[in-house]
C-alpha cells in the first residue's frame, strides 16, 4: 500500500478502518467500509463490512448516499449489486491486509496508523526519510523507543559488512553525530545506574557492570587499555591446592601489552578511619587490606608469569604492572577536610597503586556526558 491504513476503535471489540474504493466516478463512487471485530467463536473471521454508494458533496467530501433501506424490503422485492472482476480482485487483495492487521495487533484503543508493506517497502521508507518533518511526527507518535528498536533491528541483521560499507559512505559529520548520540545514550545509562545504586554493597554487581563496560577503566589511565581476563588466577597455590590468588580483572595496555591489575570493592566499603593525632587521620583497614591484597597479586603474577603465560609468545607482558583499586565513596561518607587531606596524602604517595573512589570514577563518566552534549 502507498499510504498507511487509519484505524479507530469504536469499542473494545470493534474498530473502523479506511474505506476501500472499488469504483470511482466524478460525482459518485462505490466503497467497502471494513471493520475489525473480535470474534470469540471464530477468531480468524475478524473482518466484516458494508458496501456503500457515495456522492460528492458541495465541499468536495464524499457523503453516503441512501435511497433504499434494505431492512424494509417487501416480499418479491430485491436488489442487485454487481462487482466487476477488477473490483472484486481489489477488494479481495486489500481485505487480506485487514486480516493481517488484526492478526498482528488486534483491536488497539484509540486511533493509529498501520503500514502494510511488501514490494513497495523501499518507496515507503524513501518517502519517510526524505522529510525531517516525518521523523518529528514518528518520534511524537512512537517516542524515542523507535530509534532504539531501529538500532536493535540493524544489530540483529547478518548483513553487517554491507551496512558498514554504506555507513562509511555517509558524511563524516553526520556519522560523528550518530556515534555521539549512541555513546551519549550508553554513558547516561551507566551514570544513571551509578546514581540509583550508590548505596549498593554487592561487589558482584559492580564487577559485572564494569565487565560489561570495561572501556570505563580506560578513562582512569592516559593510555589505551583492554580487558584481558576476569577472575583471573595468578598462581600461589600450595601443594595442597589451597591458597590460589584470584584477581577481579586483568587489563593490558593495548599497545605495549603490559598488564594492569584491577581490584573492585563497593561504594559502601569504608575509606576513613579514626583520628590519629592532631589533624592526621588513619584510613580504614578495608583500604590497607585491599592495597596489600593487590601487592600480593602483583608479586604472585610476576613470580608465576612464565608458568602462566607459557613463554615469550604470550599476548600479555608483566613489566612492573600498574594496579588500580576502586573503593568506597567520598559522597557516601561525607568526610571533613582533614580526613580528605589524609586520604589524598596517602594515595598520592602510593608508587604502584592508583586508588580511586566510585564517585570519582563515575564523575569521569559524567564529564564525558557533558562533553558529548556540547558537541551535539
- The structural domain count of the chain equals 3
CA atoms within 13 A on the CB side of 209: 23
Q: Determine, yes or no, domain membership for 176.
A: no
Does residue 114 sit in the same domain as residue 136?
no
Domain that holds residue 158: 131-169
Q: Determine, yes or no, domain membership for 100.
A: yes
Does residue 254 sit in the same domain as residue 314?
yes
C-alpha distance from residue 247 to each of 120, 174, 295 (Å) = 57, 42, 11
> What size, in residues, is the chain?
376
Q: Determine, yes or no, domain membership for 27.
A: yes
Does residue 222 sit in the same domain as residue 324?
yes
Does residue 221 sit in the same domain as residue 75?
no
Does residue 332 sit in the same domain as residue 226?
yes
Please give the torsion angle defined by the CA atoms of residues 357, 362, 364 and 368, in that order, rounded to the nearest 10 degrees.
Answer: 180
CATH number at residue 363: 3.40.1350
Does residue 93 sit in the same domain as residue 147?
no
Cell triple for 80: 442487485
Q: What predicted TM-score, i.e. pTM, was given to this entire model? A: 0.53
Q: Determine, yes or no, domain membership for 147.
A: yes
Position 240 scores a pLDDT of 38
The answer to whether the beta carbons of residues 227 and 245 sit under 8 Å apart is no
Which residues, including other chains, have CB under 8 Å from residue 203's CB and lie 6 or more apart?
264, 265, 266
Does residue 200 sit in the same domain as residue 92?
no
Does residue 247 sit in the same domain as residue 345?
yes
Q: Determine, yes or no, domain membership for 341.
A: yes
Decide which of 75, 97, 118 is a domain's last residue.
118
CA atoms within 13 A on the CB side of 104: 9
Q: Determine, yes or no, domain membership for 98.
A: yes
Question: Minimal CA–CA distance to 372: which of 172, 175, 177?
Answer: 177
Tens place of pLDDT for every residue, the chain, 376 residues?
A: 456 788 999 998 999 999 999 998 888 899 999 999 999 889 899 999 999 998 888 778 888 887 667 777 788 888 788 889 999 998 998 898 888 888 888 898 888 887 766 555 556 566 666 666 766 666 565 555 556 666 666 666 666 666 666 656 655 455 555 555 666 777 888 899 999 999 999 999 998 888 888 878 887 776 666 766 666 666 554 433 445 567 778 888 888 888 888 889 999 999 998 888 888 999 999 899 999 988 888 888 887 776 666 555 567 788 888 899 999 999 999 999 999 999 999 999 988 899 999 999 999 888 888 877 775 5
d(Cα 236, Cα 300) in Å, to the nearest integer?
6
d(Cα 270, Cα 328) in Å, to the nearest integer?
6
Cell triple for 127: 518517502
Q: Determine, yes or no, domain membership for 272.
A: yes
Q: Determine, yes or no, domain membership for 180.
A: no
Amino acid at each position: 500500500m502507498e499510504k498507511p491504513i487509519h484505524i479507530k476503535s469504536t469499542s473494545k471489540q470493534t474498530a473502523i478502518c479506511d474505506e476501500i474504493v472499488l469504483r470511482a466516478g466524478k460525482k459518485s463512487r462505490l466503497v467497502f467500509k471494513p471493520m475489525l471485530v473480535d470474534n470469540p467463536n471464530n477468531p480468524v473471521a475478524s473482518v466484516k463490512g458494508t458496501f456503500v454508494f457515495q456522492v460528492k458533496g458541495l465541499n468536495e467530501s464524499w457523503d453516503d448516499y441512501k435511497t433504499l433501506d434494505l431492512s424494509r424490503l417487501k416480499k418479491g422485492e430485491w436488489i442487485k449489486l454487481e462487482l466487476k472482476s477488477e473490483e472484486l480482485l481489489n477488494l479481495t487483495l486489500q481485505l487480506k491486509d485487514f486480516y493481517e492487521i488484526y492478526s498482528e495487533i488486534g483491536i488497539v484503543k484509540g486511533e493509529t496508523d498501520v503500514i502494510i508493506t511488501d514490494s513497495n517497502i523501499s518507496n515507503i521508507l524513501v518517502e519517510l526519510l526524505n522529510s525531517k518533518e516525518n521523523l518529528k511526527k514518528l518520534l511524537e507518535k512512537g517516542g524515542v523507543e523507535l530509534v532504539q528498536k531501529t538500532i536493535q533491528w540493524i544489530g540483529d541483521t547478518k548483513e553487517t559488512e554491507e551496512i558498514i560499507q554504506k555507513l562509511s559512505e555517509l558524511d563524516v559529520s553526520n556519522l560523528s553525530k550518530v556515534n555521539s548520540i549512541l555513546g551519549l545514550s550508553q554513558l547516561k545509562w551507566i551514570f544513571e545506574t551509578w546514581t540509583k545504586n550508590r548505596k549498593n554493597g554487592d561487589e558482584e554487581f559492580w564487577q559485572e557492570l564494569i565487565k560489561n563496560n570495561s572501556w570505563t577503566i580506560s578513562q582512569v589511565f592516559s593510555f589505551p587499555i583492554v580487558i584481558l581476563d576476569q577472575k583471573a588466577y595468578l598462581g600461589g597455590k600450595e601443594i595442597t591446592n589451597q591458597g590460589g590468588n584470584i584477581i577481579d580483572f586483568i587489563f593490558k595496555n593495548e599497545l605495549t601489552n603490559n598488564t594492569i591489575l584491577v581490584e573492585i570493592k563497593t561504594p559502601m566499603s569504608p575509606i576513613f578511619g579514626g583520628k590519629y593525632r592532631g589533624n592526621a587521620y588513619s584510613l580504614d583497614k578495608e583500604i590497607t587490606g585491599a592495597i596489600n591484597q593487590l601487592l600480593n597479586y602483583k608479586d604472585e603474577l610476576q613470580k608465576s608469569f612464565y608458568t602462566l603465560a607459557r613463554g615469550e609468545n604470550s599476548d600479555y607482558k608483566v613489566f612492573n604492572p600498574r594496579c588500580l583499586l576502586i573503593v568506597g565513596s567520598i559522597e557516601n561518607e561525607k568526610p571533613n577536610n582533614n580526613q580528605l587531606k589524609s586520604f589524598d596524602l596517602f594515595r598520592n604517595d602510593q608508587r604502584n597503586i592508583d586508588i580511586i573512589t566510585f564517585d570519582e570514577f563515575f564523575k569521569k563518566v559524567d564529564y564525558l556526558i557533558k562533553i558529548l552534549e556540547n558537541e551535539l
